[in-house]
Structure 1
Amino acid sequence: MPIYFPDILEQKTEPRTFTYDEKDIMLYALGIGMGGDPMNERELPFVYEKTLKVMPTVTTVLASARGQFIRPAADQRSGLRISELNLLMLVHGEQKVELHKPLPASGTITATSRTIGAYDKGKERGAVVVDETVWTDEKGEKVATLTGSTFARGDGGFGGPSQGAPEPHVMPERKPDLSAQFDTRPDQALLYRLNGDFNPLHSDPEVAKQAGFPRPILHGLCTFGITCRAVLQEFCDYDPTRILSHQARFSAPVFPGDVITVDFWQNRNAISFEARVVDRGATVIKNGKTVLRA
């Protein structure tokens, strides 16, 4: 299943329109651990429709057609070679969400995905593929842009450029300015998967063992959402409209039940962050950056 370059840069989806509602918003917030204390009046608005607030990172599940990952497919122009990645060898590398306007609690969105970069690390080292999804609302106004990189371990050696891939956010060298801890529940992956990602790696112990894990792992995008929740709590007074963008690199899995420690460094409206599971000595999120609206 080769990568054809530069043809892959012409690959895109047809515009797809979907509608989401308040239930989708609340289910996502529950999936990343909000509302664990039903008396917490700061988190309750994210899981209760009375004055519903929207987590910015909910876009990562709504944009993928209820969790079913959509990779840009080639259009049908004559002569365009179709690139197909080895799905068994894909690893989600980085994710960025940029909100051009606050996301309403329900709505109809049109999304289009395209491949914007492909970088060859060598036949034995794989490739990095960068995709972009743009949301527009019913007025045709841009709502969100999602950018994700995939490490295609089995698709290197296609002859594309080896340099020029987006560089990870550079972390400050000083000690963190602040740290916060977040519990995950033993059943958290079983709840989060109801957003649409039914990969059995997150629910089936036998599949997890076949993949080399002692038990099912938490979805990487769930951990991504928890880091956004952390920024929201520590820097935004639980006001999601303050978040302009949120990005991070995935570095190790979280197991449901782990306690996640998020470290923060603040530089004006830019918040750098990393996430660790101290008990296992694992850094699970690296090179994180949130940009706040002034």
Structure 2
Amino acid sequence: MAIDAQRLLDLKLPDHDCSWTQEHCQIYALATGFGQDPVDDRELAYVVEGPDFRVSPTAAITLYYDDAWMRESGVDLAMSLHGEQKNIFHRPIPPSGRGRVRSRITGVHDKGPGRGLLVVCEQVLTDAETGEALATNIITNFARADGGGGSSAGTLSSPHALPDRPADLVVDQVTRPEQALIYRLTGDRNPLHATPATAREAGFPQPILHGMCTYGFAARAILGSVCDFDPTRLKSMGARISAPVFPGDALRTEIWRDGEVVSFRTTAPNRDNVVVLNNGRAEVV
């Protein structure tokens, strides 16, 4: 199907409302590995209620969740993948609240016949009561079946180059066999992550972990190793999703620190160190 890039940039996507509770934030934290060290009070602050309760900044991803923009784009959803993710964290996510999400398509880039199409969507989450921006979500969707129309418009970011030196820090984590079943409770119930038959139809031997769950594990690695588990210090984060993770895989996040810029890459060491998140960049203070 030929995609008209300018039509997508001109689309007026509907706002949508969302709400969340402390329990939702706790489930997200457990789904992304928090609590794996059950005697670290800094980490337990994300999963145990109390006056010092904290919310992982990337929990905002689950509050944006709405695929209306993908349906409106006209791409073949069955042949589309979440290719890149970026977030800007304007202020801490409160443990409970109500929000409004504004979405707009900001870029459409045709890679050519047989090479697919990139569609970039920007979503801004605001506090429903104050109107203040809480976080910005920028998604790059790779529509594998929709390239070749020759129509491109808008903006597309370049991948962040990782430093050419050994990593300054390495954080090893583990996912559990039921990790995807926990993460789906945060809102993304795509059967690819839960139903073996659906996974086999898509060419996988078993259900795969949500890419945003892997992303959340990387955020935990950065928060723990660079930010002393203080969520207010993580100001932005982004990465390319380069390979699937299977629930039960180990994850290794390599981290480079250059002032306020943190570069990172996540691999699956039990699968020949395949890179699952690449070109990662975060900003910390």
Q: What TM-score does the superposition give when structure 2 sets the normalisation length?
A: 0.94
2:94 to 104, 108, 112: 104
Spell out the pairing of 1:126-205 with structure 2 (5 A cutoff): 126-137=116-127, 138-161=129-152, 165-205=156-196
Q: 1:72 Cα deviation (Å)?
A: 5.9
Q: Residues 244 and 2 from structure 1, CA distance in 2 versus in 1: closer, same or farther, beyond 3 angstroms?
A: same
AA in 2 matched with 1:30:
L
Q: 1:2 Cα deviation (Å)?
A: 3.8
**In the alignment, structure 1 residue 284 sits paired with structure 2 residue 276:** yes
Q: Tell me which moved more, 138-147 or 155-164.
A: 155-164
1:121 to 111, 114, 120: 111
- The percentage of counterpart residues that share the same residue type is 43
Q: Which residue of 1 aligns with 2:247?
A: 256
**In the alignment, structure 1 residue 275 sits paired with structure 2 residue 266:** yes
SS in 2 for 1:264: strand
Contact in 1 for aligned 2:33/2:217 (Cα 8 Å): yes
Q: Which residue of 2 aligns with 1:239?
A: 230
Please give the alpha-carbon distance, in whole angstroms, between the structure 1 residues aligned to 2:3 and 2:49. Answer: 45
Please give the alpha-carbon distance, in whole angstroms, between the structure 2 residues aligned to 1:12 and 1:190. Answer: 34
Contact in 2 for aligned 1:248/1:285 (Cα 8 Å): yes
> Deviation string for 1:159-201 (max 9, x for gaps)?
2238962111111111111111001111111111111111111
Please give the alpha-carbon distance, in whole angstroms, between the structure 2 residues aligned to 1:163 and 1:153. Answer: 19
Contact in 2 for aligned 1:127/1:151 (Cα 8 Å): yes
Contact in 2 for aligned 1:72/1:115 (Cα 8 Å): no
Q: Residues 249 and 227 from structure 1, CA distance in 2 versus in 1: closer, same or farther, beyond 3 angstroms?
A: same
SS in 1 for 2:17: strand
Superposition CA RMSD, Å: 1.6
Q: Which residue of 2 aligns with 1:63?
A: 64
Q: Residues 139 and 162 from structure 1, CA distance in 2 versus in 1: closer, same or farther, beyond 3 angstroms?
A: closer
> Deviation string for 1:63-118 (max 9, x for gaps)?
11xxx5332676xxxxxxxx411001101110011011121111111111110000
**In the alignment, structure 1 residue 91 sits paired with structure 2 residue 81:** yes
Aligned residue pairs total 282
Contact in 1 for aligned 2:15/2:101 (Cα 8 Å): yes
Q: 1:215 Cα deviation (Å)?
A: 1.3
Q: Which residue of 1 aligns with 2:201?
A: 210
Gaps of 5+ in 2: none
SS in 1 for 2:115: coil
Gaps of 5+ in 1: 75-82
> Deviation string for 1:13-46 (max 9, x for gaps)?
2222222111111110011111234333221110
Please give the alpha-carbon distance, in whole angstroms, between the structure 2 residues aligned to 1:44 and 1:93. Answer: 31
